[in-house]
Amino acid sequence: MSNSLRVLTEPTIEPVTLAEAKLHARIDTSADDVEIAVMITAARVLIERHTRRSLINQTFRFQMDEFPHDNIRLPRSPLVEISVGGSYTYAMPRIRYYDNNATQQTLTYSTGFELDLYDNPPRLNLLPNVIWPVSQVSKQKAVEVDFVAGYGTTAASVPALLRMAIMMLVSHWYEHRTAVDVGAGTELPLAVDTILKLYGSGDYQ
């Protein structure tokens, strides 16, 4: 069974501002502001991929060829429960699938499955005595789950350690911008690597 994950809605802000990154790196010129802004985004993406966590809320679509035998484990956390309203036109997580008549169906939350928001990775759990429906045979990506993951919609909602990791990465990249910098080292800073391991292991929420 093959799975895929794609972003439907990117975060509206970055967890660290340009001013914060420059202050941490002790940069007092505006000549490299565009490059530093790109570094902030790149640092955030790297951290999200290493930890399998979204920092600022993002909307994802997780696709599977068929339902699993047990619970659905989502590839990004922390999971957010979303109600219809504002910029959201449907409640999430939402599960849709193609049945054997090639008709797309929607599963109803709370009558078909329940959320485990705090597990790592977060899960969509079957209710007692309930099984997943049968999806269309041999159809690729017959099952899709739309969900929101993130710590919130503001930088203040992101854990301080993860924000610090972004600033340390930006500072490191700004100081070592060549492909190979002999003597300086090209690995992640030790403190950043430690933070990524803490959050990637699931020990920290």
Domain positions in the chain are 3-54+155-200, 60-149
Calculated CA dihedral for residues 91, 159, 153, 90, nearest 10 degrees: -10
- What is the pLDDT at residue 187? 64
pLDDT digits (tens, 9 = 90+) for 123-171: 999 888 888 999 999 899 999 999 999 999 999 999 999 999 999 999 9
CATH topology (fold) of 60-149: Immunoglobulin-like (2.60.40)
- What is the pLDDT at residue 202? 66
What confidence tier does 2 reach under pLDDT thresholds 50, 70, 90?
A: confident
Would you tell me the crossing angle of helices 160-175 and 190-200 to the nearest 10 degrees?
140
pLDDT digits (tens, 9 = 90+) for 79-135: 999 888 778 889 899 999 999 999 999 987 776 788 888 777 899 998 888 889 999
Pick the more confident residue, 200 or 33.
Answer: 33
Report helix, strand or coil for 89: coil
Q: What is the pTM of this model?
A: 0.87
**Contact assessment for residue 131 and residue 142, using Cβ atoms and an 8 Å cutoff:** no
pLDDT digits (tens, 9 = 90+) for 183-197: 444 467 888 989 999
E-strand stretches of 10-103: 58-64, 72-73, 79-80, 94-98
Beta bridge partners of 61: 6, 146
Length of the chain: 205
* The domains spanning 3-54+155-200 and 60-149 adopt the same CATH topology: no
Enter the tokens of residue 84.
Answer: 């219809």
Average pLDDT score, the chain: 89
**Contact assessment for residue 56 and residue 12, using Cβ atoms and an 8 Å cutoff:** yes
CATH topology (fold) of 3-54+155-200: Hypothetical protein yqbg (1.10.3230)
Mark out the alpha helices in the chain (DSSP H runs): 18-25, 33-51, 160-175, 190-200
Whether 203 shows a pLDDT value over 90: the answer reads no
- What is the pLDDT at residue 178? 62
Enter the tokens of residue 183.
Answer: 């003597």
In the sheet that 123-126 helps form, which strands lie side by side, from edge to edge?
72-73, 123-126, 113-116
